Amino acid sequence: MPVYKAPVEDTLFLLNDVFGIERYNNLPGFADASADVIEAVLGEGAKLCEEVLQPINYSGDQEGCTRHSDGRVTTPKGFKEAYEAYAGGGWIGLAMDPEYGGQGLPYTLGAVMNEYASAANMAFAMYPGLTMGAMAALYVHGSDEQKQTYLPKMIEGKWSGTMNLTEPHCGTDLGLLKTKAVPNGDGSYAITGTKIFISAGEQDITENIVHLVLARIEGAPAGTKGISLFVVPRNKLGLDGSVGANNGVSCGSIEHKMGIHGNATCVMNYEGAQGWLVGAENKGLNAMFVMMNEARLGVAIQGLAQSEVAYQNAVAYAKERLQGRALTGAKEPAKAADPIIVHPDVRRTLMSIRAFNEAARAFVLWNALKSDVAHRSGDAAERQAADDQLGLMTPVLKGVLTDVGFDNAVKAQQMFGGHGYIAETGVEQFVRDARIAMIYEGANGVQAMDLVGRKLGRDGGRAIMGFFNEVGGFLKDNAEDEALKPLLAPLQVSLGHLQQAAMWFMNNALARPDNAGAGATDFMHLLGLVSLGYMWAKMAKAAQEKLKAGADGATERMNAKLVTARFFMERSLPETAVHLARITAGADTTMALSAEQF
């Protein structure tokens, strides 16, 4: 049976030693999160994930969700109780405003918990994850009344949330959406239409479901400029907030799909359902973007989480499975063969996953802290800089962490040989679950286009210039550090590749947009690699400093960090050269054949 242990020590190293979370104490909620509190909070979260969520991951996958003839949906055994434990532990409202019953703690801690929960049980973690995303949109764009009505119940775990964008004929291109909203004359709207692929659209976990639905008000302009956001509870609400009759919202069917079987993916029918506008008319995409940006970071975390849990299981197996002898002679002569972890190719695989996971975790937390700054700082310039970075990095996090997360789940599966292909070992579930993260919340190719087409040139390239300056500044400040030199030299080279690629787009993409489109995915991965390399440089510096200060019992872990940093710089980072070569090859061969020739 699969195993999972939340990487609490690694998280604490990042928060305390690499990013110095105490430096953020001036932000609301951070002063309450002292080092001791953080350790206790993460310890509790880890326990819930390891002891409650992980044990129902495999069974939840096997059992899946069931839709009954009356439209009700049953989730796998244990999910309802786990949700109660999750909400009861305060995890849904961890970072939410105390005015609505939240704890007001840093969003960053919520991101950590999201990693642990998604690694322990991704299908389950989507139920609270979507609820938190819906709460974020309501919190930013909802009226006071909407916030008072919905947020406390969602935080308590009584009601959940969903996001309804996709329709049968439109996924990426939301400008095509047809669901309509007709004013009822009393401030509410009648919502009619069909949404597909709605995660957690129906379930037996909470007493009500708060659907956030994109729809077009009668007479609104065509395309994305005519889309509005509505809050549509599945069940009508009494004046006292009690849950009443069905509100014209039903689940028509659920999908049979490759992974995340424990999460119901629903066709949702809205038949004159009563909904209320969230935010301004025709500005629905704007409002939904709050949810989508949070959800994209959440999906990025899913990529990391599946990579981490797959890695942990591959390591456990590689230490046990006896096959062949080490190239340098038997390591366990008393046994019939050595464990496969002695083989360099097995090591190469495990090290490449590990080097990614540790840097990806740092990359997530670095940006989660920026999100806290962007939303909580009182300093406008600080907020702006954090928001710039977050805007630039959101598609990179989503695209790179899920692409590589899936690749890593496959690599981990490979360590099991044929046994990895068999359901019983549980590792093939990680592969199946990881796959969706590359697709939903905007397919990764679309993330790459968002990066190159919108984010790169926005505000005269201010965000990417900020990143160049930060990494360049780090390289300069640490240029005399002899121990860091072998790590910084490859980072300098790769930063150069990134700058050349950005310059190449400036010179070649405006006149020929296909040049941007054909190189976008490579650019996303190139920026991702440099970001991960930068994370490794920061982690190596912090590890060195910790070692100098006596390491406080962490000598072995810090030495391992330094080795893993070198592995990444020597073996993963050089891929930036390949991405640059592909980008500068342009779109000629990519676009030359006619559609008929395919």
Ligand X SMILES: Cc1cc2nc3c(=O)[nH]c(=O)nc-3n(C[C@H](O)[C@H](O)[C@H](O)COP(=O)(O)OP(=O)(O)OC[C@H]3O[C@@H](n4cnc5c(N)ncnc54)[C@H](O)[C@@H]3O)c2cc1C
Sites of contact with ligand X (CB under 6 A): 163-166, 171-172, 197-199, 257, 265, 436, 439-443, 445-446, 449
Comparison of 33 and 295: residue with beta carbon closer to ligand X: 295
Smallest distance from ligand X to CB 169, Å: 8
Three-state secondary structure string covering 499-537: HHHHHHHHHHCCCCHHHHHHHHHHHHHHHHHHHHHHHHH
Please report, for residues 352, 486, 490, the alpha-carbon distance to residue 559 in angstroms, rounded to integers and kept in the order given: 17, 15, 20
Kindly tell me the burial class for residue 590, based on how many C-beta atoms sit within 10 Å of its own C-beta (0-12, 13-18, 19 or more).
middle
Q: What distance in Å separates the CA atoms of residue 79 and residue 205, rounded to the nearest whole number?
A: 7
Smallest distance from ligand X to CB 484, Å: 39
The residue assigned the tokens 């490579």 is 522
Comparison of 76 and 171: residue with beta carbon closer to ligand X: 171
Cβ-based neighbour number of residue 152 at 10 Å = 18
Smallest distance from ligand X to CB 300, Å: 15
Strands 208-217 and 180-183: parallel
Mark whether 218 is an active-site residue.
no
Q: What distance in Å separates the CA atoms of residue 451 and residue 512, rounded to the nearest whole number?
A: 17
Comparison of 28 and 175: residue with beta carbon closer to ligand X: 175
Smallest distance from ligand X to CB 73, Å: 14
Over its C-alpha atoms, the chain yields an Rg (Å, rounded) of 24
The tokens describing 435, both together, are: 């796959």
Buried b / exposed e over 455-474, threshold 16 CB at 10 Å, is bbbeeeeebbeebbeebeeb
Comparison of 148 and 172: residue with beta carbon closer to ligand X: 172
The tokens describing 417, both together, are: 């040989």
Smallest distance from ligand X to CB 163, Å: 5
> What residue is closest to ligand X based on CB?
171
Smallest distance from ligand X to CB 172, Å: 3
Comparison of 89 and 252: residue with beta carbon closer to ligand X: 252
Cβ-based neighbour number of residue 304 at 10 Å = 28
Comparison of 105 and 273: residue with beta carbon closer to ligand X: 273
Handedness of CA 194, 200, 206, 209 (dihedral sign): negative
Smallest distance from ligand X to CB 165, Å: 3
Going by C-alpha positions, the residue among 265, 250, 269 that lies closest to residue 75 is 265
Smallest distance from ligand X to CB 302, Å: 12
Strands 159-164 and 208-217: parallel
Smallest distance from ligand X to CB 433, Å: 10
φ and ψ at residue 243, rounded to 5 degrees: -90, 125
Strands 265-278 and 228-233: antiparallel
Q: Per DSSP, what are the bridge partners of residue 232?
A: 211
Comparison of 388 and 441: residue with beta carbon closer to ligand X: 441
**Selected catalytic residue, list 39, 308, 441, 575:** 441
Buried b / exposed e over 538-556, threshold 16 CB at 10 Å, is bbbbbbbebbeeeeeebee
φ and ψ at residue 266, rounded to 5 degrees: -115, 145
φ and ψ at residue 19, rounded to 5 degrees: -105, -5
Smallest distance from ligand X to CB 507, Å: 22
Comparison of 453 and 466: residue with beta carbon closer to ligand X: 453
Comparison of 11 and 208: residue with beta carbon closer to ligand X: 208
Cβ neighbours for 154, distance < 8 A, ≥ 6 positions apart: 92, 131, 134, 135, 160, 161, 210
Q: What distance in Å separates the CA atoms of residue 43 and residue 35, rounded to the nearest whole number?
A: 12
Handedness of CA 257, 261, 265, 267 (dihedral sign): positive
Please report, for residues 56, 369, 528, the alpha-carbon distance to residue 579 in angstroms, rounded to integers and kept in the order given: 40, 29, 11
N- to C-terminal Cα distance for the chain? 44
Ramachandran region, residue 264 (left: φ > 0; alpha: ψ -120 to 50; beta: rest): beta
Smallest distance from ligand X to CB 207, Å: 20
The tokens describing 355, both together, are: 């080097």
The residue assigned the tokens 């940093």 is 565
Comparison of 340 and 446: residue with beta carbon closer to ligand X: 446
Q: What distance in Å separates the CA atoms of residue 598 and residue 591, rounded to the nearest whole number?
A: 11
Comparison of 487 and 520: residue with beta carbon closer to ligand X: 520
Residues acting as catalytic residues: 441
